[in-house]
Amino acid sequence: YGRVNYVLAKRLDLLMDVQRLQESLDVKGDVAYTCETAGYFYVDQIETRFQRFEERISQRSAGDDQPPASIVDDEFPFHKFFDNAPQPLFKKHDFREDLEVARSCFRYIERIFTQLEEFRAFELLRSGLDRSKYLLVKEAKVIAMTCTHAALKRRELVDMGFKYDNILMEESAQILEIETFIPLLLQNPQ
């Protein structure tokens, strides 16, 4: 259950970041209560503010080969959220450089909500067993098990919809042919 506990702790950390973002924007409500409410907050508040930022930047810099560098700093909506970042956030020397910093800040915020969307299933699945099965089927990259364990858990793994791409058998010269066949049956043929 170590990985499940890690995901649950990471989810709480991300929700605290959402709470901090909400407070920095002076938005009322409890948007950091669940991953779902955080997702609505992202669509309703964050995306719209960044789109408005992009529109204002394009309006104010239209027709200017070298727009003033201070435009990005003036229009950026997330200053308070990035107060803990190295300051100054925008150098105000080069417009394009400052615009790239603003976009990377948005990507950072976007990544928070992307991870929360990935962790959303853990709010719906209540038991540790369900959560660990979800991780096994949806998130696991490498899974190790003995042929005996594969034989014992085959039906359960097939029922969960477990699928694999590759099988690597360690010390395969020491096991019988039938024992090598069992792991190959861990998923239903397609």
Same domain? For 105 and 190 the reply is no
Task: Please tell me whether the overall predicted TM-score, pTM, comes out greater than 0.75 for this model.
Answer: yes
* Terminal C-alpha separation, the chain: 31
134 in any annotated domain = no
Name the residue range of residue 51's domain: 2-121
158 in any annotated domain = yes
Query: What is the pLDDT tens value at each position of the chain, 190 positions in all?
Result: 688 889 899 999 999 999 999 999 999 999 999 999 999 999 999 999 999 999 999 988 887 777 888 899 999 999 999 999 888 999 989 889 999 999 999 999 999 999 999 999 988 898 888 888 888 888 878 888 887 787 788 888 888 888 878 777 777 777 777 777 777 777 766 6
SS3 assignment, position 169: coil
Q: Which amino acid, residue 186?
A: L
Same domain? For 77 and 169 the reply is no
